Amino acid sequence: MASGVSPESGSARYLRHVAIERGLSQNTLDAYRRDLAAYAEWLAERGIDDLAAVDPETLAEYVAELNGAPAREQRTPVSGRSPGPSNASEVRPEEKPRPAYSPGTISRRLSTVRGMHRFLYEEGLLPGFAGSGVRTPKKGRRLPKALSTTQVEALLAAAAATTPTRSGCGTGRCSNCSTPAARGSARSRRSTSTIC
């Protein structure tokens, strides 16, 4: 079922919506505009000129290509459906491999594209929501930065300076402390006695 919503007109409607209804900053709108322009270009390369022809499989292919997977061979659209892969191993010979984007960039781009599809679907302009079931790549966890030798030595020196001795911990709660709490009655010493 053709909706007659081109990627360009769908993007323009969505950008107008987020600018007015959600009050996004100009920088965020510019990022959305770039993400949607890249998506529209990707769809144009596949001969998709109607957003109703986009399904979850098409969006999954988009994410795979953002992740560095080779582009797939284009087939002729049949009855308004998106041209999907004819064979997963076929690659356009004239097309250079696309660079792989970071998981954060892919998540942001997919979030923008899903947002547009959801908005157009909720407005009744698309027959279905193409973003359902499409997963974003997981962001890798970063390891903590290692301390330099100087920082480790300073940390150990600071710990050694505050380490309690056998003469007491300095809290006043143990029998070895020479603080006023430790010099109280025998009863108070028994109730607060700990090992330093």
- pLDDT, tens digit, for every residue of 4-62? 899 999 999 999 999 999 888 999 999 999 999 999 999 999 999 999 999 999 999 99
Q: Is residue 19 part of a domain?
A: yes
Cβ–Cβ under 8 Å, residues 3 and 127 = yes
- For CA atoms 107, 70, 14, 117, give the dihedral sign: negative
Is the domain of 82 the same as that of 158? no
Cβ–Cβ under 8 Å, residues 191 and 174 = no
159 vs 2: CA distance, rounded Å: 70
Q: Is residue 84 part of a domain?
A: yes
Q: How confident is the model at residue 83 (pLDDT cuts 50, 70, 90)?
A: very low
Tokens of 184: 């109280």
pTM: 0.59
Residue 154 belongs to what domain range? Answer: 149-192
Is the domain of 111 the same as that of 153? no
- pLDDT, tens digit, for every residue of 102-152? 888 999 999 999 999 999 999 999 999 988 888 777 777 777 888 889 998
